[in-house]
Structure 1
Amino acid sequence: MNIALSPDDLARACADAMWKEDDASKGLGMKIVEIKPGQAVMSMPVLPHMVNGQRIAHGGFIFLLADSTFAFACNSRNERAVAAQCDITFIRPGKLGDVLVATAREISRSGRSGIYDVRVTSGEVVIAEFRGHSRTIAGTWLPVAAGEAK
Protein backbone atom coordinates (compact mmCIF):
# COMPACT_ATOMS: atom_id res chain seq x y z
CA MET A 1 0.00 0.00 0.00
CA ASN A 2 1.19 3.52 -0.63
CA ILE A 3 0.02 4.83 2.74
CA ALA A 4 1.30 3.18 5.90
CA LEU A 5 -1.62 1.94 7.96
CA SER A 6 -1.64 1.58 11.73
CA PRO A 7 -1.70 -2.06 12.89
CA ASP A 8 -5.40 -1.71 13.83
CA ASP A 9 -6.29 -0.15 10.46
CA LEU A 10 -4.30 -2.84 8.64
CA ALA A 11 -6.15 -5.57 10.56
CA ARG A 12 -9.51 -3.97 9.67
CA ALA A 13 -8.56 -3.59 5.98
CA CYS A 14 -7.48 -7.25 5.82
CA ALA A 15 -10.74 -8.31 7.48
CA ASP A 16 -12.76 -6.23 4.99
CA ALA A 17 -10.93 -7.83 2.05
CA MET A 18 -11.39 -11.32 3.48
CA TRP A 19 -15.06 -10.72 4.38
CA LYS A 20 -15.89 -9.84 0.76
CA GLU A 21 -14.99 -13.40 -0.25
CA ASP A 22 -16.32 -15.26 2.82
CA ASP A 23 -19.68 -16.60 1.67
CA ALA A 24 -19.73 -19.30 4.38
CA SER A 25 -19.53 -16.89 7.32
CA LYS A 26 -21.92 -14.37 5.77
CA GLY A 27 -24.36 -17.14 4.83
CA LEU A 28 -24.62 -18.28 8.44
CA GLY A 29 -25.42 -14.81 9.73
CA MET A 30 -22.02 -14.15 11.29
CA LYS A 31 -20.95 -10.60 12.00
CA ILE A 32 -17.50 -9.18 12.64
CA VAL A 33 -17.67 -7.42 16.00
CA GLU A 34 -14.03 -6.41 16.44
CA ILE A 35 -10.69 -6.89 14.67
CA LYS A 36 -7.21 -6.07 15.94
CA PRO A 37 -3.80 -7.52 15.12
CA GLY A 38 -3.93 -11.19 16.16
CA GLN A 39 -7.43 -10.81 17.57
CA ALA A 40 -11.00 -11.10 16.35
CA VAL A 41 -14.51 -11.16 17.80
CA MET A 42 -17.42 -12.49 15.76
CA SER A 43 -21.04 -13.32 16.52
CA MET A 44 -23.58 -15.73 15.08
CA PRO A 45 -27.22 -16.37 15.98
CA VAL A 46 -28.31 -19.98 16.48
CA LEU A 47 -31.04 -20.33 13.84
CA PRO A 48 -33.58 -23.17 13.43
CA HIS A 49 -31.52 -24.96 10.76
CA MET A 50 -28.54 -25.05 13.17
CA VAL A 51 -30.07 -27.26 15.86
CA ASN A 52 -29.64 -31.02 15.90
CA GLY A 53 -31.84 -33.90 17.03
CA GLN A 54 -31.10 -33.01 20.66
CA ARG A 55 -32.58 -29.55 19.89
CA ILE A 56 -29.26 -27.88 20.74
CA ALA A 57 -26.83 -26.05 18.48
CA HIS A 58 -25.05 -28.57 16.26
CA GLY A 59 -21.37 -28.71 17.18
CA GLY A 60 -20.36 -28.23 13.56
CA PHE A 61 -21.87 -24.74 13.54
CA ILE A 62 -20.14 -23.84 16.81
CA PHE A 63 -16.86 -25.11 15.33
CA LEU A 64 -17.48 -23.08 12.17
CA LEU A 65 -17.96 -19.86 14.17
CA ALA A 66 -14.76 -20.53 16.13
CA ASP A 67 -12.86 -21.44 12.95
CA SER A 68 -14.00 -18.30 11.12
CA THR A 69 -13.01 -16.12 14.07
CA PHE A 70 -9.63 -17.87 14.20
CA ALA A 71 -9.22 -17.20 10.47
CA PHE A 72 -9.86 -13.47 10.86
CA ALA A 73 -7.40 -13.26 13.78
CA CYS A 74 -4.57 -15.06 11.98
CA ASN A 75 -5.08 -13.13 8.72
CA SER A 76 -4.96 -9.71 10.41
CA ARG A 77 -1.38 -8.77 9.45
CA ASN A 78 -1.69 -8.93 5.65
CA GLU A 79 -0.19 -12.39 5.40
CA ARG A 80 -2.53 -15.07 4.09
CA ALA A 81 -2.89 -17.88 6.62
CA VAL A 82 -4.82 -21.14 6.69
CA ALA A 83 -5.59 -23.67 9.39
CA ALA A 84 -3.04 -26.42 9.85
CA GLN A 85 -4.87 -28.07 12.75
CA CYS A 86 -7.76 -27.23 15.06
CA ASP A 87 -9.54 -28.81 17.97
CA ILE A 88 -12.53 -27.88 20.07
CA THR A 89 -13.90 -28.81 23.46
CA PHE A 90 -17.65 -28.41 23.88
CA ILE A 91 -18.49 -27.29 27.42
CA ARG A 92 -22.17 -26.31 27.42
CA PRO A 93 -24.83 -26.53 24.71
CA GLY A 94 -25.84 -23.58 22.59
CA LYS A 95 -29.58 -23.17 22.20
CA LEU A 96 -31.95 -22.01 19.50
CA GLY A 97 -32.09 -18.21 19.61
CA ASP A 98 -28.73 -17.78 21.38
CA VAL A 99 -26.31 -15.30 19.91
CA LEU A 100 -22.93 -16.98 20.14
CA VAL A 101 -19.84 -14.79 20.40
CA ALA A 102 -16.39 -16.10 19.56
CA THR A 103 -13.30 -14.26 20.80
CA ALA A 104 -9.94 -15.21 19.26
CA ARG A 105 -6.53 -14.21 20.56
CA GLU A 106 -3.08 -14.97 19.33
CA ILE A 107 -1.04 -17.13 21.70
CA SER A 108 2.16 -17.32 19.64
CA ARG A 109 3.43 -16.51 16.17
CA SER A 110 6.81 -17.66 14.91
CA GLY A 111 7.94 -17.97 11.32
CA ARG A 112 5.03 -19.32 9.30
CA SER A 113 3.22 -20.85 12.30
CA GLY A 114 0.75 -19.41 14.77
CA ILE A 115 -1.38 -20.64 17.65
CA TYR A 116 -4.71 -19.04 18.51
CA ASP A 117 -7.26 -19.69 21.24
CA VAL A 118 -10.94 -19.00 20.66
CA ARG A 119 -13.60 -18.93 23.37
CA VAL A 120 -17.22 -19.24 22.28
CA THR A 121 -19.81 -17.83 24.69
CA SER A 122 -23.51 -17.16 24.98
CA GLY A 123 -23.79 -14.23 27.35
CA GLU A 124 -21.63 -15.17 30.34
CA VAL A 125 -21.85 -18.92 29.62
CA VAL A 126 -18.80 -20.55 28.00
CA ILE A 127 -20.02 -22.85 25.24
CA ALA A 128 -16.70 -24.08 23.81
CA GLU A 129 -12.94 -23.64 23.80
CA PHE A 130 -11.09 -23.96 20.48
CA ARG A 131 -7.38 -23.99 19.63
CA GLY A 132 -6.19 -23.40 16.09
CA HIS A 133 -2.74 -23.73 14.57
CA SER A 134 -2.17 -21.56 11.50
CA ARG A 135 0.31 -21.67 8.67
CA THR A 136 1.02 -18.70 6.41
CA ILE A 137 0.86 -19.28 2.67
CA ALA A 138 1.86 -17.18 -0.33
CA GLY A 139 0.05 -13.90 -0.91
CA THR A 140 -1.37 -10.93 0.91
CA TRP A 141 -4.87 -9.47 1.38
CA LEU A 142 -3.81 -5.97 0.39
CA PRO A 143 -1.29 -4.83 -2.23
CA VAL A 144 2.24 -4.43 -0.92
CA ALA A 145 4.30 -1.61 -2.45
CA ALA A 146 7.80 -2.37 -3.75
CA GLY A 147 10.29 -2.20 -0.91
CA GLU A 148 7.57 -2.31 1.78
CA ALA A 149 7.84 -5.11 4.32
CA LYS A 150 4.79 -7.33 4.43
Structure 2
Amino acid sequence: MTDDVQRTVAALNDQDATFHAQGMTVESVADGRVSISLTVRADMTNGAGVAHGAWVFMVADTAFGYAAATRLPNALTADADIRFHRPAPAGTRLVAEAEVVTQTRSTLLIDVVVSNDAGHRVASFRGGARAGRPRQTDPS
Protein backbone atom coordinates (compact mmCIF):
# COMPACT_ATOMS: atom_id res chain seq x y z
CA MET A 1 0.00 0.00 0.00
CA THR A 2 2.82 2.44 0.77
CA ASP A 3 4.12 2.23 -2.81
CA ASP A 4 0.60 2.90 -4.12
CA VAL A 5 0.11 6.03 -2.00
CA GLN A 6 3.61 7.24 -2.90
CA ARG A 7 2.78 6.85 -6.59
CA THR A 8 -0.62 8.52 -6.15
CA VAL A 9 0.90 11.58 -4.47
CA ALA A 10 3.79 11.72 -6.96
CA ALA A 11 1.35 11.68 -9.90
CA LEU A 12 -0.79 14.39 -8.32
CA ASN A 13 2.29 16.44 -7.53
CA ASP A 14 3.55 16.19 -11.11
CA GLN A 15 0.40 18.03 -12.26
CA ASP A 16 0.35 20.62 -9.44
CA ALA A 17 1.69 23.85 -10.92
CA THR A 18 0.84 25.88 -7.80
CA PHE A 19 2.81 23.51 -5.58
CA HIS A 20 5.95 23.95 -7.67
CA ALA A 21 5.54 27.69 -8.31
CA GLN A 22 5.31 28.45 -4.58
CA GLY A 23 8.23 26.26 -3.51
CA MET A 24 6.32 23.71 -1.45
CA THR A 25 7.93 20.39 -0.53
CA VAL A 26 6.39 17.00 0.25
CA GLU A 27 7.89 16.01 3.60
CA SER A 28 6.19 12.65 4.12
CA VAL A 29 3.49 10.43 2.65
CA ALA A 30 1.59 7.52 4.19
CA ASP A 31 -1.87 6.05 3.79
CA GLY A 32 -4.23 8.87 4.81
CA ARG A 33 -1.40 11.13 5.96
CA VAL A 34 0.65 13.74 4.11
CA SER A 35 3.01 16.45 5.32
CA ILE A 36 3.83 19.49 3.13
CA SER A 37 6.17 22.40 3.93
CA LEU A 38 6.43 25.97 2.68
CA THR A 39 8.82 28.71 3.74
CA VAL A 40 7.16 32.12 4.02
CA ARG A 41 8.82 34.60 1.66
CA ALA A 42 8.70 38.39 2.06
CA ASP A 43 6.31 38.60 -0.92
CA MET A 44 3.88 36.34 0.97
CA THR A 45 3.48 38.76 3.89
CA ASN A 46 0.69 41.24 4.50
CA GLY A 47 0.79 44.82 5.83
CA ALA A 48 1.42 43.51 9.35
CA GLY A 49 4.59 41.78 8.15
CA VAL A 50 3.33 38.21 8.61
CA ALA A 51 2.17 35.50 6.21
CA HIS A 52 -1.10 36.43 4.57
CA GLY A 53 -3.76 33.94 5.63
CA ALA A 54 -4.22 32.82 2.05
CA TRP A 55 -0.70 31.34 2.02
CA VAL A 56 -1.31 29.46 5.26
CA PHE A 57 -4.60 28.19 3.84
CA MET A 58 -2.86 27.16 0.62
CA VAL A 59 -0.26 24.93 2.29
CA ALA A 60 -2.96 23.40 4.52
CA ASP A 61 -5.29 22.84 1.56
CA THR A 62 -2.50 21.23 -0.45
CA ALA A 63 -1.70 18.76 2.34
CA PHE A 64 -5.46 18.12 2.67
CA GLY A 65 -5.81 17.38 -1.04
CA TYR A 66 -2.82 15.06 -1.18
CA ALA A 67 -4.00 13.14 1.93
CA ALA A 68 -7.46 12.83 0.38
CA ALA A 69 -5.95 11.39 -2.80
CA THR A 70 -4.28 8.59 -0.84
CA ARG A 71 -7.71 7.30 0.16
CA LEU A 72 -10.27 8.46 -2.40
CA PRO A 73 -9.44 8.61 -6.11
CA ASN A 74 -10.45 11.86 -7.77
CA ALA A 75 -11.34 13.44 -4.42
CA LEU A 76 -12.80 16.95 -4.56
CA THR A 77 -12.99 19.45 -1.74
CA ALA A 78 -16.52 19.76 -0.40
CA ASP A 79 -15.79 22.26 2.37
CA ALA A 80 -12.94 23.64 4.47
CA ASP A 81 -12.46 25.77 7.58
CA ILE A 82 -9.34 27.30 9.03
CA ARG A 83 -8.57 28.83 12.40
CA PHE A 84 -5.43 30.94 12.77
CA HIS A 85 -3.55 30.66 16.07
CA ARG A 86 -0.32 32.63 15.66
CA PRO A 87 1.42 34.71 13.01
CA ALA A 88 4.20 33.49 10.75
CA PRO A 89 6.72 36.16 9.70
CA ALA A 90 8.88 35.93 6.57
CA GLY A 91 11.45 33.17 6.87
CA THR A 92 9.15 30.90 8.87
CA ARG A 93 9.02 27.33 7.62
CA LEU A 94 5.44 26.13 7.79
CA VAL A 95 4.68 22.40 7.96
CA ALA A 96 1.13 21.25 7.23
CA GLU A 97 0.39 17.76 8.50
CA ALA A 98 -2.86 16.29 7.16
CA GLU A 99 -4.59 13.18 8.43
CA VAL A 100 -7.79 11.45 7.33
CA VAL A 101 -9.91 11.13 10.48
CA THR A 102 -13.16 9.72 9.06
CA GLN A 103 -13.95 7.89 5.85
CA THR A 104 -17.07 6.55 4.21
CA ARG A 105 -17.40 5.00 0.77
CA SER A 106 -17.53 8.41 -0.91
CA THR A 107 -16.47 11.03 1.66
CA LEU A 108 -13.53 11.94 3.88
CA LEU A 109 -13.01 14.23 6.85
CA ILE A 110 -9.44 15.47 7.12
CA ASP A 111 -7.71 17.49 9.84
CA VAL A 112 -4.60 19.53 9.10
CA VAL A 113 -2.29 21.15 11.65
CA VAL A 114 0.03 23.87 10.34
CA SER A 115 3.04 24.42 12.59
CA ASN A 116 6.05 26.73 12.50
CA ASP A 117 9.71 25.75 12.72
CA ALA A 118 9.52 25.82 16.54
CA GLY A 119 6.65 23.32 16.47
CA HIS A 120 4.02 25.85 17.55
CA ARG A 121 0.59 25.62 15.95
CA VAL A 122 0.00 28.39 13.41
CA ALA A 123 -3.38 27.15 12.15
CA SER A 124 -5.91 24.35 12.37
CA PHE A 125 -7.71 23.33 9.19
CA ARG A 126 -10.58 20.86 8.78
CA GLY A 127 -11.99 19.87 5.44
CA GLY A 128 -14.37 17.47 3.83
CA ALA A 129 -13.76 15.72 0.53
CA ARG A 130 -16.06 13.72 -1.67
CA ALA A 131 -15.58 11.35 -4.58
CA GLY A 132 -15.47 13.10 -7.93
CA ARG A 133 -15.60 11.93 -11.50
CA PRO A 134 -12.36 10.82 -13.14
CA ARG A 135 -10.51 13.69 -14.77
CA GLN A 136 -11.41 14.13 -18.42
CA THR A 137 -8.64 14.75 -20.91
CA ASP A 138 -8.99 17.34 -23.63
CA PRO A 139 -9.91 15.44 -26.85
CA SER A 140 -8.35 18.08 -29.14
8 Å Cα contact 2:49/2:89 also seen in 1: yes
The one-letter amino acid paired with 2:18 is A
- SS state at 1:55 partner: coil
TM-score, structure 1 as length reference: 0.86
Q: Which runs of 5+ in 2 are unaligned?
A: 136-140
Corresponding residue for 2:138?
none
1:128, CA displacement in angstroms?
Answer: 0.2
User: 2:1 aligned with 1:24, yes or no?
Assistant: no
Corresponding residue for 1:88?
82
User: 1:78, 1:15 → 2: CA distance?
Assistant: 12
Corresponding residue for 1:128?
123
8 Å Cα contact 2:74/2:131 also seen in 1: yes
User: 2:93 aligned with 1:74, yes or no?
Assistant: no
- Of all paired residues, the percent bearing the same amino acid is 30
8 Å Cα contact 1:41/1:101 also seen in 2: yes
For 2:53, which of 51, 59, 70 is the aligned residue? 59
Larger Rg: 1
Runs of 4+ in 1 over 4 A off after TM superposition: none
User: 1:107, 1:136 → 2: CA distance?
Assistant: 16
Once the two structures are overlaid, the 10-residue window that deviates more, 78-87 or 41-50, is: 78-87
TM-score, structure 2 as length reference: 0.92
Aligned residues: 134
The one-letter amino acid paired with 2:30 is K
- SS state at 2:96 partner: strand
Q: Which runs of 5+ in 1 are unaligned?
A: 1-6, 141-150
